[in-house]
Amino acid sequence: MIFNSLEFAIFLPIVFLLYWFVLNKNLKLQNLFIVIVSYIFYGWWDWRFLFLIAFSSLVDFFIGVQLSKTDTPKLRKLLMGISLSVNLGFLGFFKYFNFFIDSFASTFTFFGIPFSPTHLNILLPVGISFYTFQTLSYSIDVYRRQLEPTKDIIAFLAFVSFFPQLVAGPIERATHLLPQFNKKREFNYALSVDGLKQILWGLAKKIIIADNAAEFANLIFNNADQYPGSVKLIGAIFFSLQIYGDFSGYSDIAIGTSKLFGFDLMQNFAFPYFSRDIAEFWRRWHISLNTWFRDYLYIPLGGSRGGLSKKVRNTFIIFLVSGFWHGANWTFIVWGGLNALYFLPLLLAKKNRNNIGVVAEDRVFPNAQEVFQMLRTYLLVVLAWIFFRAESVPHAISFIDGIFSTSFFTFPSATYFAGQNLSIYTMVACIIVFFVIEWAGRRNIYAIQHFNLGHVTVKWSFYYSLIFCIFLFMGNEQDFIYFQF
C-alpha cells in the first residue's frame, strides 16, 4: 500500500477513527491496533514477508530482555553478535546475494578462470534496509546501556512496524520513538492540523514535482545517445528534482501521518538544495540515515579525531557504506566515493562546519556569495546523482562525457521534451513556484508549516489551490524510489 493510492486514502481515515474514537481509553489496545494495521499495511505488498519482520522483531526483543539480565561481558557480546548476525544476515542475503555472486564471477573471469555462478530468484522485501537499521539501533543502545530494554512486546512490535515510517523511514532511534508507545496519547487538534498540512505538502512534492520530473528524467536517461550534452544536463537536473520530491515528499507524508496519531518523528530533510557546501548538504539530506551512520559507525571508528590517514579512512568508509546501503550496484558505491571526495577537502581544512544555520536567515534574499555557493554545491550534487540514476558505471560515465562535450552548447529546444504529461514550459513553471515556496519556508520543518497567508480566506484558498494543482498536474504514478532500498 503506498501513500498516494486509493487504498491508503480509504485505509487512513478508518484507522484514524477507530484509533481515536473506539480504542482511545486503553493504551495497550491502541498499541495492539497499531501493530495489526501496520502488518496489514506492510502485507499489502507481499504477506510472506510479514514472517521476516516478525522474526527480526522478536529476536531483538528477546535479546534486549536477555541483555538486561546479564553483566557478563562475553555473554553481552555474544547476544549483540546474534542480533547483528540475524539482522545483517537477512539484509545481506535478500539485498546483496546476487551482487556478491556477480562480483566473484567478474573477479574469476578477470584472472582467466571460468566461473558460471548460480543466481537465486530473490525478491527484495520492501523496507528491509529501514526496519533492520531501526531494530539494530535498539539492540546497540541497550548493549551500550544507553536505553532500558522494554518488557512490553506489543509496544516493541509497534515501534518496529509503525506503518507511517515502516517502509522508507525516517529511521527512528529507539530512544526517541519507543518511549512514545508507553505514554497515554491524547488527541491534539493543532498537531493533527499540522500533520494534515505536512501530508498535503508531501503529496504536492511527490505528485506534482517528483512524478512529472521522473518522466523527463526517464526519457533522457533511457535514450541518452539521442540527446546533446545540454539536454543530458537538464535530464540530470530533472532526476535531482525527482529524487528530492519523491523522498522528502514521502518523509513529509510519513511524519504528517504520525502526527495524526500523536507521534513525533524526526525531521528527515531540511531544504538540502539550499546548502552552501557539501558538508551542509549531508546535514540536511536523509538526516535519519546520516545521523545513524554517524552515531553507530563514524564515531566508533574515531570520527574526525586522529591523524590524516585515519580521517581519510573514516570519511571514505562512511560514504562508501552509505552508498552500498542504497543498493547492490557499483553505481551506488561510486556515488558514495564521489561524495567522499567532495567532503574530504572541507574536513581536512576544518571548514566542514562553516555553514550550520539557515542560509540568509535574517534576510529575504541571499547575497551574491551565497548564490554562488548554493549553485556550486547543487551542481556537484547533480553530477553525483548521475551515478545514482544510471543503470551501470559505464552508462554514467558515458552520460557525463556527453555533458562535457561540444554538444553542451546545443540549444535545448522544446522538441526534445515533447510527448510528456506536462509541457516543458508548464513543468518549469511548477518548479519555479515550488522553489519559491520552499525558499520562503526554509526556516520551518516543512515549507508551508507557518506560512503567513493573512486572512483565513486567503489561507484556505491556498490550501484548496494546492489540492487543485495536485489533481490538475498529476503525472503517471511512479513508485517511491526508496522503496527499492
Query: From CA 158, how far away is CA 111, in angstroms rounded?
Result: 50
Residues 15-47 have pLDDT tens digits of 999 999 999 889 999 999 999 999 999 998 888
Residues 116, 77, single domain; the answer is: yes
* 165 occurs within a structural domain: yes
**Whether the predicted pLDDT of 358 surpasses 90:** yes
* 377 occurs within a structural domain: yes
**Whether the predicted pLDDT of 201 surpasses 80:** yes
* 310 occurs within a structural domain: no
Cell (9 digits) for 146 = 544507553
Looking at 114-118, 203-207, 334-338, 346-350, which range is the least confident one? 114-118
Cell (9 digits) for 217 = 528524467
Residues 43, 88, single domain; the answer is: yes
* 106 occurs within a structural domain: yes
Q: Summarize the confidence of residues 53-74 as an average pLDDT.
A: 93
The residue range of the domain holding 220 is 191-276+355-483
* 287 occurs within a structural domain: no
Percentage of residues in the chain having pLDDT higher than 70 = 98
Q: DSSP readout, 55-77?
A: HHHHHHHHHHHHHTT---HHHHH
Last residue of a domain, one of 147, 163, 187: 187
Residues 161, 206, single domain; the answer is: no
- Using pLDDT thresholds of 50, 70 and 90, give the confidence band for residue 380: very high
Last residue of a domain, one of 187, 221, 244: 187
Residues 137, 238, single domain; the answer is: no
What is the DSSP-derived secondary structure letter of residue 34? H
Q: Summarize the confidence of residues 95-113 as an average pLDDT.
A: 74
Helical packing angle, 153-161 and 50-67, nearest 10°: 130
**Entry pTM:** 0.91
* 282 occurs within a structural domain: no
pLDDT higher for 271 or 475?
271
Residues 154, 213, single domain; the answer is: no
**Whether the predicted pLDDT of 90 surpasses 80:** yes
Query: From CA 361, how far away is CA 363, in angstroms rounded?
Result: 6
Residues 231, 168, single domain; the answer is: no
Instruction: Output the pLDDT for position 459.
Output: 86
Residues 89, 113, single domain; the answer is: yes
**Whether the predicted pLDDT of 331 surpasses 70:** yes
- Using pLDDT thresholds of 50, 70 and 90, give the confidence band for residue 402: very high
Q: Which amino acid is at 331?
A: T
Percentage of residues in the chain having pLDDT higher than 90 = 71
Q: How far is CA 470 from CA 196, 210, 400, 464, in A?
A: 15, 12, 33, 10
Instruction: Output the pLDDT for position 120.
Output: 65
Cβ 171 vs Cβ 437: under 8 Å: no
CA diameter of the chain: 75
Which of 381, 384, 390, 335 is closest to 218 using CA atoms?
390
**Whether the predicted pLDDT of 477 surpasses 80:** no
Cβ 262 vs Cβ 456: under 8 Å: no
Q: What number of residues does the chain have?
A: 485
Q: How many structural domains comprise the chain?
A: 2
Q: Summarize the confidence of residues 295-300 as an average pLDDT.
A: 91
Residues 88, 21, single domain; the answer is: yes
- Using pLDDT thresholds of 50, 70 and 90, give the confidence band for residue 420: confident
Question: Where on the phi/psi map is residue 163: left (φ > 0), alpha (ψ -120 to 50), or beta?
Answer: alpha
Q: Which amino acid is at 15?
A: V
* 225 occurs within a structural domain: yes
Q: What are the residue numbers of the active site? A: 326
Last residue of a domain, one of 187, 215, 240: 187
Cβ 254 vs Cβ 422: under 8 Å: no
pLDDT higher for 475 or 128?
128
